[in-house]
């Protein structure tokens, strides 16, 4: 039985999702970015979030984590593009950045201010590469109208799934997969509900698993065999002013391999037929981060 201490998880990972989410991805302006300044401004963000009860997750990309001199988890790799091997041209794009701030709270104004102050203070060293504001839609729905999260491990099991066990390098931390998926909602809504249900492998109204799974169903690609092949998902929908909509996929795991296995299955690079949902949605960003335990984060930041 692996041992984890949930108190070591950064506040945003397992807490109830706030109504509003803000994802900010930053990369260093140059190789000589001042890392002391970076640490100071992350510390200030941590304090600002604590004072406003904002749930925060700070995630480091592989290069920045190494350059900060932190103990790194085993085999931490950057995200690389995953291309389908059929003739669809479908792929999961890689946009690996250095740093991720994920803030969530019921108060959009508070999270706006906290992330604004942090990115402004960091501007001399790091630039915002991408940002997404997301929200909770109804009963945790994805914009396709399906409930997202039913197959998540039970809350009491999530720490064992998502945190590196005690005794291992970087114990208490979690790997993160962050991807912005863009939905073709118009195309999706032209499909009949039974066909949509076959695509996910669950019913639309109440998320019941279908007895017969089509080889192309989402569930046929991401079924979680056991705790070592499971992930804890915290995804939410987003909508941009230009009409772009989709799912901000956010998940935590104690190792990177389940993410890679699931994505390879979805894109058919492991020999399976491609996941049907990749006909209706494309990830336009993709990055892996590591969220250190509370103690390791404080060590990294010099606290």
- Cβ-Cβ contacts under 8 Å for 12 (sequence gap 6 or more): 55, 56, 57, 102, 103, 104
Longest dimension (CA), the chain: 56
Site for ligand HEM in 172-201 (CB under 6 A): 177, 181, 200
Cα Rg of the chain, angstroms: 19
Residue 234 CA: distances (Å) to CA of 14, 129, 253, 270: 9, 22, 11, 26
Pick between residue 171 and residue 280 the one whose CB is nearest to ligand HEM: 280
Cα–Cα distance, 265 to 224 (Å, whole number): 12
Q: Which of 94, 128, 210, 219 binds ligand HEM (CB under 6 A)?
A: 219
Per CB under 6 A, the segment of 63-71, 117-125, 128-136, 146-154 that binds ligand HEM is 146-154
Site for ligand HEM in 32-61 (CB under 6 A): none
| Least gap, CB of 179 to ligand HEM (angstroms) | 6
Residues in the chain: 303
Pick between residue 38 and residue 247 the one whose CB is nearest to ligand HEM: 247
Pick between residue 171 and residue 222 the one whose CB is nearest to ligand HEM: 222
Asked if 136 interacts with ligand HEM (CB under 6 A), we say no
Asked if 288 interacts with ligand HEM (CB under 6 A), we say no
Binding letters toward ligand HEM, positions 244-283, x by CB under 6 A: ---x-x---------x--xx-------------x---x--
Helix axes 108-122, 35-51, angle to 10 degrees: 170
Cα–Cα distance, 162 to 245 (Å, whole number): 28
Q: Which of 78, 145, 151, 165 binds ligand HEM (CB under 6 A)?
A: 151
Asked if 115 interacts with ligand HEM (CB under 6 A), we say no
Q: Which of 41, 110, 125, 142 binds ligand HEM (CB under 6 A)?
A: 142
| Least gap, CB of 222 to ligand HEM (angstroms) | 4
Asked if 289 interacts with ligand HEM (CB under 6 A), we say no
Binding letters toward ligand HEM, positions 57-86, x by CB under 6 A: ------------------------------
| Least gap, CB of 275 to ligand HEM (angstroms) | 8
Q: Which of 49, 134, 170, 231 binds ligand HEM (CB under 6 A)?
A: 231
Per CB under 6 A, the segment of 35-43, 76-84, 112-120, 147-155 that binds ligand HEM is 147-155
Cβ count near 291 (within 10 Å): 26
Q: Contact residues for ligand HEM (CB under 6 A)? A: 142, 144, 146-151, 177, 181, 200, 202, 207, 218-219, 222-224, 231, 247, 249, 259, 262-263, 277, 281
């Amino acid at each position: 039985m692996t041992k984890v201490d949930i108190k070591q998880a950064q506040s945003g990972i397992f807490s109830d999702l706030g109504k509003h989410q803000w994802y900010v991805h930053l990369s260093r302006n140059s190789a000589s970015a001042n890392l002391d300044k970076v640490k100071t401004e992350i510390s200030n963000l941590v304090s600002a979030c604590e004072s406003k009860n904002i749930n925060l997750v700070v995630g480091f990309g592989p290069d920045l984590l190494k350059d900060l001199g932190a103990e790194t988890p085993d085999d931490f790799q950057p995200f690389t593009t995953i291309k389908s091997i059929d003739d669809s041209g479908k792929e999961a794009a890689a946009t690996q950045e250095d740093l991720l701030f994920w803030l969530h709270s019921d108060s959009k104004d508070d999270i706006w201010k906290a992330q604004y102050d942090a990115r402004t203070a960091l501007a001399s060293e790091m630039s915002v590469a991408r940002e997404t504001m997301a929200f909770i839609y109804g009963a945790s729905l994805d914009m396709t109208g399906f409930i997202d999260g039913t197959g998540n491990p039970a809350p009491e099991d999530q720490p064992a799934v998502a945190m590196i066990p005690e005794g291992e390098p970087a114990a208490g931390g979690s790997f993160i997969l962050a991807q912005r998926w863009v939905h073709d909602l118009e195309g999706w809504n032209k499909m009949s509900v039974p066909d949509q249900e076959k695509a996910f492998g669950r019913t639309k109204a109440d998320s019941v698993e279908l007895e017969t799974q089509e080889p192309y169903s989402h569930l046929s690609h991401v079924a979680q065999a056991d705790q070592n092949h499971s992930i804890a998902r915290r995804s939410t929908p987003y909508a941009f002013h230009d009409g772009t909509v989709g799912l901000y996929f956010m998940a935590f795991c104690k190792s990177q391999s389940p993410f890679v296995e699931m994505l390879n299955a979805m894109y058919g690079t492991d020999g399976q037929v491609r996941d049907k949902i990749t006909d209706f949605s494309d990830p336009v960003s993709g990055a892996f981060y590591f969220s250190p335990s509370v103690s390791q984060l404080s060590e990294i930041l010099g606290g």
